[in-house]
């Protein structure tokens, strides 16, 4: 294994690291990516066995604390009503995501101007639009052009056919039609026909625990094969401890532990962080020096501040007829009827409904037991029959606004298997989010009942719903109020870049992966255009 200096060192092989590596490859620079996890073998994914539900709650759980794999690091999230979800491996969070793939709206970049809250982004929708298009081409996005709730796709011809509605989305669409509310086939990072050598979706129904078919666009099978074929080196089981700073104030490499647990130094001319909204502040805060005693690139004091999730509301309806069960991808349709601010609702900003189709038999039982619909004992089976394959519903993805007291810090006691201090989460649900969640539950319940549901169950906030980790190294023009500039370069360290969700200024009310990847492509494009004076 070579320890020769590299031109570009990317930390993290997930959604953004993969896109960044791929986009820089044509510079002919020497590019290395260090990833703490492994390559995935799709034939090991849970949907290859009858025990798929049990495995999806264990070794494929979205919670790193529950998985507890050697490739994971622990997270102290006891002081948060929402626990952290992630995945550590080539592909990162895209291994376990649902593939729900919305874009930001133009208004999402202007919340201060429009609503007087939080801050505007230093870039706008038009800046990212061409990078959304590139990302869609590599990813393979199913969808339907013409959604009145969204700007037109830059190139609707690249869209793959939409995902099937099935009985579940049909029932929900009927309910939303009855209310006169918007719904539309979701843009989804799922190949509905062969795309770039990947096979089409066959409705395995286990997107959230890895796609054995390879239809879901996790970056281990989208960007990475292309990047590696063109010369990028990807080293797995390499956990970075800290970024090293030279006497000139520039990052000069990283200290990491290799697959044997040996400490290594990797020199680099440029360092790119792609380790998500918890991993990135953790690494910066662990990289202390005389020049940066409070953590690297932290002169603003904002590294780890302004943590945003998307508080989720989960709303499920029980229908009198049999629906799809767990067959088919969870992603199917969305509604953005309540996306923009309407002050009569009692809160600012808004949310997206992401419909989730149905669930498997064990998840049905767990939901029924948790919500008092399944009694223990004699009547168990009678009540179970009323739930079996009859449940469908949605989650509301609520825009979270940045608040400085929501933080990622270093836990004083908890460490990972290499002894590196682990992240600690302190998060409080805001009053605005609480009102938004309640509103979302109420409207979804109305729509489900209008579609024929005879019973509705809900949970808000969804305790396990910390999938989207944003805001902890925010982007901005003013070095006093942000960590990176408008093209992702740290204000304090001119060869250090961040391309993951931690640079988000606001969260919008949509799943962030498509925008994270568009940002990674945009930032690396900016780097390519400035190669001659990248550090000025």
Binding residue (CB under 8 A) for other proteins from 45, 101, 121, 224: 45
User: Can residue 125 be called a binding residue for other proteins (CB under 8 A)?
Assistant: yes
Instruction: Give the nearest distance from C-beta 305 to other proteins in angstroms.
Output: 27
Binding residue (CB under 8 A) for other proteins from 158, 228, 366, 464: 366
User: Can residue 165 be called a binding residue for other proteins (CB under 8 A)?
Assistant: yes
User: Can residue 380 be called a binding residue for other proteins (CB under 8 A)?
Assistant: yes
Integer Cα distance of 127 and 54 in angstroms:
43
User: Can residue 325 be called a binding residue for other proteins (CB under 8 A)?
Assistant: yes
143-162 residues in contact with other proteins (CB under 8 A) are 146, 148-151, 162
User: Can residue 183 be called a binding residue for other proteins (CB under 8 A)?
Assistant: yes
Is the CB of 250 or the CB of 369 nearer to other proteins? Answer: 369
User: Can residue 63 be called a binding residue for other proteins (CB under 8 A)?
Assistant: no
Task: Indicate the pairing of strand 312-318 with strand 455-459.
Answer: antiparallel
Instruction: Give the nearest distance from C-beta 239 to other proteins in angstroms.
Output: 27
User: Can residue 206 be called a binding residue for other proteins (CB under 8 A)?
Assistant: yes
Binding residue (CB under 8 A) for other proteins from 109, 131, 223, 427: 109
User: Can residue 292 be called a binding residue for other proteins (CB under 8 A)?
Assistant: no
Run of H or E including 394: strand 391-398
Burial of 41 (0-12, 13-18, 19+ CB in 10 A): exposed
Q: What own/partner pairs with CB < 8 Å and gap ≥ 24 does 59-63 have?
A: 60/96, 60/209, 60/210, 62/86, 62/87, 62/96, 62/208, 62/464, 62/467, 63/464
Give Cβ neighbours of residue 168 (< 8 Å, ≥ 6 apart). 323, 324, 328, 332, 355, 357, 358, 392
Instruction: Give the nearest distance from C-beta 207 to other proteins in angstroms.
Output: 11
Binding mask 387-406 for other proteins (x = CB under 8 A): -x------------------
* Residue 382, number of CB atoms within 10 A of its CB: 10
Residue with tokens 């959230």: 208
User: Can residue 351 be called a binding residue for other proteins (CB under 8 A)?
Assistant: no
Binding residue (CB under 8 A) for other proteins from 54, 442, 477, 480: 54
Is the CB of 65 or the CB of 203 nearer to other proteins? Answer: 203
Integer Cα distance of 509 and 377 in angstroms:
42
User: Can residue 167 be called a binding residue for other proteins (CB under 8 A)?
Assistant: yes
Instruction: Give the nearest distance from C-beta 57 to other proteins in angstroms.
Output: 7
User: Can residue 362 be called a binding residue for other proteins (CB under 8 A)?
Assistant: yes
Q: Which residues are bridge partners to 498 per DSSP?
A: 273
Integer Cα distance of 372 and 123 in angstroms:
48
Span near other proteins by CB under 8 A; candidates 11-19, 181-189, 262-270, 508-516: 181-189
Contact 125, 109 (CB under 8 A): yes
Is the CB of 71 or the CB of 127 nearer to other proteins? Answer: 127
Q: Which tokens belong to 22? A: 């791929």
Q: What is the DSSP string of 283-326?
A: HHHT---SS-TT-TT-TTS-TT-S-B---EEEEEEE-SS---TT
Is the CB of 171 or the CB of 251 nearer to other proteins? Answer: 171
Whose CA is closest to 35, among 251, 294, 223?
223
Instruction: Give the nearest distance from C-beta 286 to other proteins in angstroms.
Output: 31
Q: Which residues are bridge partners to 242 per DSSP?
A: 255
Instruction: Give the nearest distance from C-beta 346 to other proteins in angstroms.
Output: 19
User: Can residue 376 be called a binding residue for other proteins (CB under 8 A)?
Assistant: yes
Instruction: Give the nearest distance from C-beta 418 to other proteins in angstroms.
Output: 25
8-37 residues in contact with other proteins (CB under 8 A) are none
Whose CA is closest to 5, among 225, 233, 227?
233
User: Can residue 204 be called a binding residue for other proteins (CB under 8 A)?
Assistant: yes
Integer Cα distance of 264 and 451 in angstroms:
59
224-283 residues in contact with other proteins (CB under 8 A) are none
Is the CB of 451 or the CB of 466 nearer to other proteins? Answer: 451
Helix%, strand%, coil% for the chain, nearest 5: 30, 20, 50
Q: Which tokens belong to 468? A: 């989207």
Binding residue (CB under 8 A) for other proteins from 254, 274, 365, 462: 365
Instruction: Give the nearest distance from C-beta 61 to other proteins in angstroms.
Output: 12
User: Can residue 50 be called a binding residue for other proteins (CB under 8 A)?
Assistant: yes
The DSSP 8-state label assigned to residue 188 in this structure reads B
Integer Cα distance of 512 and 510 in angstroms:
6
Distance set, CA 237 to CA 35, 267, 487 (Å) = 6, 18, 29
Instruction: Give the nearest distance from C-beta 261 to other proteins in angstroms.
Output: 26
Span near other proteins by CB under 8 A; candidates 44-52, 87-95, 400-408, 490-498: 44-52
Site size with other proteins, rule: CB under 8 A: 69
Helix (H, G, I), strand (E, B) or coil at 401: coil
Task: Indicate the pairing of strand 333-335 with strand 351-355.
Answer: antiparallel
Contact 206, 99 (CB under 8 A): no
Integer Cα distance of 41 and 285 in angstroms:
33
Binding residue (CB under 8 A) for other proteins from 88, 298, 336, 432: 336
Distance set, CA 161 to CA 17, 64, 158, 190, 215 (Å) = 28, 34, 10, 10, 13
Residues that bind other proteins (CB under 8 A): 45, 47-54, 57, 105-107, 109-110, 113-114, 124-126, 146, 148-151, 162, 164-167, 169-170, 173-174, 177, 180, 182-185, 202-206, 212-213, 324-325, 327-328, 336, 339-340, 360-362, 365-366, 369, 375-378, 380-382, 385, 388
């Amino acid at each position: 294994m070579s320890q020769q200096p590299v031109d570009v060192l990317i930390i993290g092989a997930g959604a953004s690291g993969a896109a960044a590596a791929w986009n820089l490859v044509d510079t002919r620079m020497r590019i290395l990516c260090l990833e703490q996890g492994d390559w995935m073998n799709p034939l090991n994914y849970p949907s290859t066995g009858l025990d798929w539900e049990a495995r999806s709650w264990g070794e494929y759980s979205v919670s790193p604390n529950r998985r507890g794999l050697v490739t994971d690091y622990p997270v102290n999230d006891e002081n948060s009503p929402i626990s952290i979800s992630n995945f550590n491996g080539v592909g990162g969070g895209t291994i376990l995501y649902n593939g729900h793939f919305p874009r930001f709206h133009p208004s999402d970049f202007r919340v201060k101007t429009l609503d007087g809250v939080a801050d505007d982004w230093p870039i706008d929708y038009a800046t990212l639009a061409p990078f959304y298009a590139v990302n869609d081409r590599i990813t393979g996005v199913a969808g339907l052009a013409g959604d009145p709730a969204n700007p037109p796709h830059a190139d609707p011809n690249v869209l793959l056919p939409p995902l099937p509605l099935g009985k579940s989305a049909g029932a929900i669409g009927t309910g939303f039609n009855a209310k006169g509310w918007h719904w539309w086939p979701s843009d989804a990072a799922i190949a509905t026909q062969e795309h770039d050598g990947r096979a089409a979706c066959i409705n395995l129904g286990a997107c959230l625990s890895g796609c054995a078919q390879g239809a879901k666009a996790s970056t281990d099978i989208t960007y990475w094969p292309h990047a590696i074929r063109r010369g990028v080196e990807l080293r797995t089981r390499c956990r970075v401890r800290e970024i090293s700073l030279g006497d000139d104030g520039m990052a000069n490499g990283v200290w990491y532990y290799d697959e044997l647990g040996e400490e290594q130094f990797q020199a680099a001319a440029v360092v790119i962080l792609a380790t998500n909204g918890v991993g990135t502040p953790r690494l910066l805060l662990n990289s202390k020096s005389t020049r940066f005693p409070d953590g690297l690139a932290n002169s603003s004091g904002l590294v780890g501040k302004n943590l945003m999730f998307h508080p989720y509301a989960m709303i499920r309806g029980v229908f009198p007829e049999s629906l799809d069960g767990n067959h088919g991808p969870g992603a199917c349709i969305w509604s953005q009827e309540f996306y923009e601010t309407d002050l009569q609702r009692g809160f600012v900003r808004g949310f997206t409904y992401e419909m989730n189709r149905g669930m498997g038999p064990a998840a049905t039982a767990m939901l029924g037991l948790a919500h008092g619909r399944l009694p223990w004992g004699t009547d168990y089976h009678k009540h179970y029959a009323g739930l079996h394959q009859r449940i469908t519903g949605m989650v509301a993805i609520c825009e979270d606004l940045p608040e400085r007291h929501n933080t990622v810090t270093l836990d004083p006691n908890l460490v990972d298997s290499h002894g590196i201090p682990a992240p600690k989460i302190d998060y409080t649900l805001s009053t605005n989010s609480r009102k938004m969640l309640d509103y979302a539950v109420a409207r979804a319940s109305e729509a489900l009942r209008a579609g024929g549901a005879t019973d509705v169950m809900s949970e808000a906030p969804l305790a396990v719903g910390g999938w989207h980790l944003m805001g902890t190294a925010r982007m901005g023009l003013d070095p006093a109020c942000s960590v990176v500039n408008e093209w992702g370069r740290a204000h304090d360290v001119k060869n250090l870049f961040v391309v993951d969700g931690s640079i988000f200024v606001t969260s919008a009310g949509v799943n962030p992966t498509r925008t994270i990847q568009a940002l990674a492509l945009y930032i690396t494009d900016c780097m390519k255009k400035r190669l001659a004076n990248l550090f000025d």
